[in-house]
Structure formats: C-alpha cells, structure tokens
Structure 1
Amino acid sequence: MSTPRSNAVLLYGRWEKPRSTGLFGMTWGATIFAGAVLIVGVLQFMIFRSLLSTGAILGLGIALLVPMLMQRRGRTGWELMIVRLAFWRAQSKGENTFRGGVFGVVPGRSQMPGIQGDTRLYEYELSSGKRFGLIHARAKDHYTVVLSSQPQGQELVEQWQINEWVQGWDDFLASLGTTHNVAGATVVVETVPDNGTRIASEVRAITSPAAPAYAREVMAQTALHRASATVRSELRISITFRRQREAASREVADQGAAIGRLLSTIISNAAAAGLDAAPMTAGELCAVATRAYRPELDRELEVLLSRGEQNELRWDQTGCAGAKAQWDYYVHNGFRSITWEMAAAPAGTVTHDALRPLLVPRFDLPRKRVAIIYRIHNIAEAVKLVDGDFKDALSAEQAKTGIGSAAASIRVDNTRAAREEQARGAGLTRFGVLVTLTAPHDADLPQMTAEIEGMSAAARIGVQRVYGGQDSAFAGSLGLGILLPEYATVNKRLTT
C-alpha cells in the first residue's frame, strides 16, 4: 500500500551567520588583541615602571581595538578602512580603469577586465559525445563547469512535487560535499532582453514543409506570440573544483578528463531537483560573458545563437572595450552596473517561493542577475564547523543577559539543530547572494535601484550595495569561474 504524498506547505529556516565569540561579547580576534595589549602593558610597567609609557600603550591599543568592535553595514571599522584604502590606492594607480580593443593596453584584444581576465577557457568531450566548456581560474587553480537549465514555473504543479524538488536540491548540495574537491557552486538566475529571434528560429527548424497548412500556421502564430515577450529568464549552475588529485598529471587536459568523469553523476543528482541540466559548451560560455560585458550586442548574439554559430566566439574577445570601477557602481561599454550583496538571511522561516519576488522577470528591469553562491564543505570540515558554531553560540549566550540573551538562545537552538542534522548525515553549506542590475548610461538608475531593493525586501533578504569592489562583485555574480570567497583580502579575524 503506497503512502499518500503530503501537499502541506513546508517551512525552511534556521540560518545563522558564522561569528566567533570571545569575552564580553567581543569577537575572538578582538579578544585576543585586547588580551595581548593588556599583557604588553603589564609587562612594560613591570620592567620600566613608567605610567606614561604604559598609558600610551594602553591608549594605542584601545584606539586600535575600537574599530574592531564598531559595526556598520555588517562590516567592522577595520574592514571598512582597509577596503577604502585599497580602493584609493587602486584609483591613484589607475588600476580601476580598463582599456581593451585595438587601442587598449593589449592591442587587438578585448579580454575581460579585472579578476575575470586571468581565466582561460577550454573545451572537452564527454563519453556520451557532448562537449563541455572548462574555465580555469589560474590565480586560485580552480576549474569550473557550467550547466544550463530551463527555469520551471510552479503553476499547475502539486505541492508534493515542489516539496520533492526542494528535497532533491538539498540532496544535490549534500552530494557535492562528497564529490572530489568541490570548492563551491553558484546558481545564476538571469533576466535578459528577448528579441524573439531564437524562438522563431527554433520554430522554423521543427516545422516540416510537408505539414498541413493549418499546422504550419499554428506554429507561425505561436512563434509570433512568443516573440512578443520582452524579457526571458535563464538559469545556470556553475560548479567549481579544486585540482583533482586523481588526474594523471597537473595538465589542464587531465583535469578536464577527471572532472568530465564526475559530470554524469552531478547531472543525475540535479535531475532529482527537477533540473534538466546540460553542460554548456565553450561557445555558449563565451556568449554569456560577451552579453554581460557588452550588453549592446544582445540582438547580434541572439541571432548568432539561433544559427548555432556560437563557436565563432573567442574567450579573449568577450570583454569590453573600456570599463571603470567606481566606488559604488561599475561602468562598461556605455552601461552601468550595480551589485548588491546579501547582508542578512530571511528572519524566521520561509516557504519554497520566498525568492520569487526577486527572481521574477520584469520588463522595466530587462537586465537583472541573481547569483546564489554556495560554499561546499566535506564531511570533516562540516563536523568542525558545526561544532565550532555551537561552541561560539554557547559562549555568546553565557556572556549576555536580559533582552540580548533571547537572540543568543535562538542562535544556540539553531546551531544545535544544525549539529544534530549533520550527525544524521545532512550536508553543511554556507551561502550568500549577489544581485546585479545593468542599465544603459542614460537610464533612470535611482528608480531602478529602488525597485531592486524593494524586490529584495519582498523576498525578505537584507541587501546592501557593494562598496569598493563593484568590478569583482560583477565578475563573481556571473558564475564563470570566479568564486568570490576565495579572493577575500581582509583577514577574517578583523571581520568575525
């Protein structure tokens, strides 16, 4: 006798931001620094018996400690100062400006700017005969494959099926933790202008000239109706690997062969989450990069893809002719892009469609990209992290009294639950969200910015604009080989 499937709407939650806890509610890094200053001050007084020198040391220590304790926009004072100084330094040296093309720094080339420019693209073949592109980020020695899929709506879908898809996605992320040397994954839901060229070309390709006239007319009208759409959504899943030790050598080709052997299993696991995924070829990846950095080529790229001529694109010619990273936005080829980062996960519990207000395509925001970045941890790392989070939460609860202890108690409950679930076999994944808006230079950017922030609020996600790193955030939200957490330049003891 089969068990009936439940149509109950499930709730999801218990997210916690990792934070080390020291004495008196300070972070662990601040606690160590304060203890070191105190010890140095005491030793100095015992040796030199000088109150003036001791007071100077303690005063300097307090001046350095205060920025560690101050928080603004989810950043400590030291972190904000380091980011600001790094941006000023890059600006003074002209490192925030890129010039490509015929008259650029590298004549005749239009490579992508910034950290994306150090990537290289290769293409290999699976045992099934399908080809896939492999992006090599040389700075971190990472290898990324990208899967494309078609977003599925939830209309006319039973709730039990949605629940199974969510469970399948959870299993998919957990399976990545047991896959050889997976560093992270990025899911990109991108809204792009739809010119109707690809749909019309596909309809022509599948319409037989020998079909009845009425059938051909229906197909033509269908293509005409679909061509009236102004925007469409695209879904990509990029999986970033560290170097595979199982490969025959350190050559990229051997890494590609080792990763190719893992793809069939990964695609099968994605199917359990309702994702009909297929690896993207090198030409398709070039089209994604070109459309991002040179949005004015939207129509030309769509025509190229409809003809199946995307293999004519080259990775070192997908970048823009010029780009400049400003403090709070990014300029490239006459367009401006703004990227926000997730500052806080949804409070409490949410349903499966919590992100729908942010992901839904809108004609007034034709170029929008939402990237969810997952940090994948293997079993050994997961045990260490959940135990550490639980101990930090207990320390924070014991250090606080009164109203503040309520939030600390909730954190203890959440970290305890994560610890128990991990012990039962669940995976541990840490995540963040990047939201990128791209618009022409003369667009009403303040209005579009307000719309994005309103959509994020409706999705119950706290977002804040990225400052001093708009170019890197833009590259990270593409899901093309750049796993941003691996490129952090600020010591974590100054941030957590």
Structure 2
Amino acid sequence: MSSADEVRIEPQVFGNLSVPRRSGLGGLSMGVSAALIPVVLLGILFLATGRWLLAGALVLAAAVAVLLLVATKRQGRSIYGRTMLRLSQRVKEKSGRDLYLAGPTGKGTPDGATRLPGLMAKSELSEFTDSYGNPFGLIRLSGAGVHNYSVVIETHPDGDSLVDREQIDHRVAVWGSWLTQRGLDEGIRGASVTIESSPDSGLRLAGLLEANRQSDSPDYARAVTEQIGETYQGGAPQLVARVTVTFDGRRLDGRTGDRGFEDMAEEISTRLPAIVGGLAGTGAGSVKACTAQQIIDFTRVAYDPTVASLVEEMQAQGGTGLGWQDAGPSFARDAFEHYRHDRAVSKSWTMYEGPAGHFTSTSLRRVLEPSPELLRKRVTLLYRPIPADRTTAMVQQEQNDAAFAGSQTRRNARAALRQAAAAKTAQEEAQGAGLTRFGLVITISAATEEDLRPWNKRIPGLVAPARLRLRPALANQAVTFQAGLPLGLVLPDHMLVPDSVREFF
C-alpha cells in the first residue's frame, strides 16, 4: 500500500468545558455588579443634594477599585486577593498556627501520637469487609457540619502502549460513564484519582531474585543474577494510581449528626463491589480496595518519603504495625510557598483555569511521567459529580448567563463560543450525560527547598499540552498537600462560603 492510501487515525478530541458563573453588567461578575449598586445609589443621592464633589470622588474611587480588580489580575488573582493571602500568612505565623509539633515532645498531643495535622486531625480509620468478603479501609472525617466517609481503591493501570485508538476511546467513554454514575448514586460527595510516582528502592527486585535463588544453581546462573541485582538496583520508577470515593454520612432523618461507622460501613459494603467493578473497562488494570494498613502506610510515606524503603521492607516481612495515630508528621511548617514536613519539603500547584479548547487523552502524559529527581510526585484529579436532580437547573442557568453576558458586550468570538458550549451542554444533558466539577492538584516532594526551585517553571510547562493554567497554592500549602493525598478530603465541604455564593464572584 502506498503512503497515499494509508489511513490515518486522528486522536479523539474532547472539550466543551465551562465554569459555572453568574455574569453581571459590562462583563463584570454578578458579585461586583451587585456591590456597585449602593455606590450608584449613593452617587445619585449626592447629585440630588448638590454635593458634586462627593459624588465625583465616590465615582472616581469606585472606578479605580474596579480598574485595579480587572487590570491587576495575575494567575487568576487580583491585587486584593494577593494582598489577603500575604496578610493571612502573616497572621498565621504570628499566632503560631504555621507550625505543627507532634510526638512525645510536641504540643497539642498529650498522648505523644503523630496524628495527621490540619483538616484531617479529627479523622478516624477503621476496617470492614464488603459483601464479597474483601476487606476495605474506611476513613471518617466528622465535625463542623462535615460528615464524610471515604474508601481508597488501588489500581495498576495497563498503560496505552500497543493499545488501539478505538480501545483508548472506549476506555475514556467508560470512565466518563463511571463519573456520570457517581452523580446518579445517592450520597456521593466526591471522587479523586491520584497518580503517584517515586524512585524504586530496588527491594522488590532483590526480593524476587532471592526468592528464586537455588542452592544448587550453576555458577554462571548465580553470577548473572548477582550482576542483575547490582546493575539494576535502582530499577524502574514506581507508579501507583489510587481512586478515592467519598460518601455523605449525614443522618437521613434530617437531624444534624453523623450516621456512624457501623451504619455507613453496612451501606458502603453493598455498594463498593459495583464501584470497583465499574473501573474494569477504564484501563485501570487490577483493582482492589485498600485495607486500613495500606492507607496508613502510604500516608506515612507521603509525610516522610525518606522512610519509603523501610516501610516497603517491613511490609515484605509481615507489616509495619503502624496505627492511624502514627501516620502524620512529627514536625511540619506551612510556609507561604512550600510545606516542610519531617525530612522533606513539598510544593503544590492548583488549577485555576481549565482547558480553553480541545484536548486529547494524552494531554497529561508529560506531567504523569515519573521524575527520578524527586522523592515523590503526585498528580491528583478531583471530581465532584453534580447530583442528577440539580443538573437540569444548572444547565439552564448557564444558558441564561451566557445569553445575558453576550448581550452586555459587543459580539465577539468568546461570547459566541460560550453560548454554543452552553447549548451543547444542554443537549448532552438532555440525552443523559452528567455534570462534574473537577480540579487538579500537583504536589512534588524533595529533600531540600533548593531542589524544588527548578520545578517552579517546569511544572506549569508540563501541563501546557492540556492547555491548563496552574498557580502555586500560596499561603495554603498544607491544606493543598492534604487535598492531593488519596484520603477523600473534599475541600468545598470545609469552606465557609458555599458554591452558590462563590459563583457570583
């Protein structure tokens, strides 16, 4: 067959992503437009009473404030937002809340435990069995109006090497259906996928060679195996993927409070096999829920990556014996641009703007590839499926806002694309598609702060093929570090301002 007769298979492209927001006057947000209403009324009052100077000063001050809000935006933050981050960090440091000391000599832990800090400080971990008799760990995070229960599922993806394009597209479709089903299920607060890469300690290869060594083997075979162990001691980097599903544990009778471990475990145990089985066609490979001990071990390694080889060795010898109260760091400092914990320092980035156009199933390949220079790298996709009873209202609201925004500004390509995207979303939702909010957290861990400096520009560049925009989690490194762990932390549940209010701004 000649080159002219060859059939070229184009990769499947995806897109039509939008952010729910309320549009105001003149291209401003609804919140800013609403804040200007009292200013306008007060200016009219000054004009009516003859106080021209006050009216002019008020209009000038409002114009400067709006101009600074619009013109000083950098990485999605205005000068007001950046100033508030600086002030909050300063208040945090003066009050001592940026430091965490645990263990026998720590403060705030009279029992000498090294619990998880921050939002996960009140978390609990227990183990149950599902309807098929398989054990699974269940994390409970309760308090201050939050009653969430999370399970962690460990997967071993097959990869896309030597996989046909049609099969890859099928896997993407199955994954989309899995997310849609989470929106149809009752009581799902969120889900996440964490891909963690780290250098191989070489213990797995050494254990494999030792287990297959024979005392009567030929000298040549013994020499070859010994050379393999010495040559490939570093091995290929480890790559682990974990899926976390978080359930709502609030009481069903309308009262405030938690349903409790036993009640939630009984419900989750019957639903978990279907959730795990739904991942079969996504390319996740072998899928199994993590036990409580596995959750403890990988959490401990996340806070102190230098003990990874020791934990792996103890696991091979029967288990680490660690408890949930031992999984946290003994020392942590939440700095403005990084997070120091035990013998490592980490930095996290968050997505502040999604893909502006089309992307493919391989757009995140570069950022997911292992980085041998780092102790740990985690890429976490956060999902919050919208319940099916709310999707229609959200789609209609987005159509109305897109039409209103187009009428407020001169017709341009961006306004036309937003209206077209809203119409396409409404059509797909009417055909049974679900809506899902999503975000991205990237966390890297190294031995020193200097080792992180070259990655300040490399990390945003790795997501360039996906057309994502990242920014450092300034003044929120500790919280973002926990959000990137596969522990089921749903950050919007811990915010004082709900989504319905934040959409106005």
| SS of structure 2 residue aligned to 1:153 | coil
The answer on 1:465 being equivalent to 2:462 is: no
Name the SS for the 1:128 alignment partner: coil
Contact 1:7 1:158 in 2 (8 A): no
The answer to whether structure 1 residue 427 and structure 2 residue 434 are counterparts is yes
Which secondary structure does the structure 2 equivalent of 1:427 belong to? coil
Can you list the C-alpha shifts for 1:184-231, whole angstroms capped at 9, x where unaligned? Answer: 1111001122112235446766x59899989x9899689848754252
SS at 1:347's partner residue?
A: coil
| Rounded Cα–Cα distance in structure 2 between residues aligned with 1:416 and 1:126 | 42
| 1:339–1:386 Cα change, 3 Å | same
Give the aligned partner of residue 274 of structure 2.
Answer: 265
Partner Cα distance (1:448, 1:78) in 2: 27
Which residue matches 1:285? 295
Answer yes or no: is 1:382 the counterpart of 2:391: yes
In structure 1, what is the equivalent of residue 243 of structure 2?
237
Which of 142, 162, 169 does residue 163 from structure 1 map onto?
Answer: 169
Change (3 A) 1:237 1:36: same
1:234 Cα deviation after fit:
0.6
The 1:490/1:329 distance shift into structure 2, 3 A limit, reads farther
Q: CA RMSD in A?
A: 3.1
Query: Could you say if the C-alpha distance between residues 424 and 34 of structure 1 is closer, same or farther in structure 2, counting changes exceeding 3 Å?
Result: same
Q: For 2:439 and 2:223, how far apart are their aligned partners in 1?
A: 45
Q: Which amino acid aligns with 1:104?
A: G
Q: Deviations over 1:34-74 (max 9, x none)?
A: 1233234445766x765566566656655665565453311
Q: How does 1:358-373 map to 2 (within 5 A)?
A: 358-373=367-382
- Residue of structure 2 equivalent to 1:120: 124
Aligned to 1:21, the other structure's residue is in SS state coil
Offset at 1:417?
0.9
Q: Which amino acid aligns with 1:268?
A: G
Paired amino acid for 1:197: L
| Residue 457 of structure 2 corresponds to residue 450 of structure 1 | yes
The alpha carbon displacement at 1:367 in A equals: 1.3
Aligned residues: 485
Q: Equivalent residues in 2 for 1:8-407 (5 A)?
A: 9-42=11-44, 50-51=51-52, 65=66, 68-69=69-70, 71-105=73-107, 106-107=109-110, 108-139=112-143, 140-201=146-207, 224=229, 228-243=234-249, 250-275=259-284, 276-310=286-320, 312-401=321-410, 405-407=412-414
State whether residues 145 and 238 of structure 1, in contact with CA within 8 Å, keep that contact through their aligned partners in structure 2: yes
Equivalent residue, structure 1, for 2:486: 479
Task: Report the CA distance shift for 1:77/1:288 in structure 2 as closer, same or farther (over 3 A).
Answer: same
Q: 1:441 to 1:221 in 2, by over 3 A?
A: same
* Alpha-carbon contact 2:142-2:258 (below 8 Å) kept: no
Distance 2:504 2:94 in 1: 26
Q: Aligned equivalents of 2:223 and 2:190: distance in 1?
A: 45
In structure 2, C-alpha distance between the alignment counterparts of 1:494 and 1:166, rounded to whole Å: 29
Code of the residue aligned with 2:319 in structure 1: it is E
Structure 1 unaligned spans of 5+: 1-5
Greater mean alpha carbon deviation, residues 268-277 or residues 292-301: 268-277
Q: Deviations over 1:258-284 (max 9, x none)?
A: 122110111111112122321111111
Structure 1 residues 226-258: Cα deviation after superposition (integer angstroms, max 9, x where no partner): 754252111000111112656998222211221
Tell me, in whole angstroms, the C-alpha distance in 2 between the residues paired with 1:179 and 1:439. Answer: 39
Q: Describe the SS at the equivalent of 1:75.
A: coil
Which secondary structure state, in structure 2, belongs to the residue aligned with residue 292 of structure 1? Answer: helix
1:172 aligned partner, one-letter code:
W
2:5 corresponds to which residue? none
> Is the deviation greater in 155-164 or in 417-426?
155-164
Query: In structure 2, what is the equivalent of residue 3 of structure 1?
Result: none
Unaligned runs of 5+ in 2: 1-7
TM-score w.r.t. the length of structure 2 is: 0.87
Worse overlay, 483-492 or 333-342:
483-492
CA offset digits 1:450-492 (Å, max 9, x no partner): 3323322244322111111011010100021311233335674
TM-score, normalising length from structure 1? Answer: 0.89
Task: Decide whether the 8 Å contact of 1:342 with 1:461 is kept in 2.
Answer: yes
| Amino acid of the structure 2 residue aligned with 1:154 | D
Secondary structure of 1:118's aligned partner: coil
Task: Provide Cα deviations, 1:420-479, integer angstroms capped at 9, x if missing partner.
Answer: 101100010111111111000165322233332332224432211111101101010002
Measured after TM superposition, the shift of residue 335 of structure 1 is: 1.6
Contact 2:125 2:324 in 1 (8 A): yes
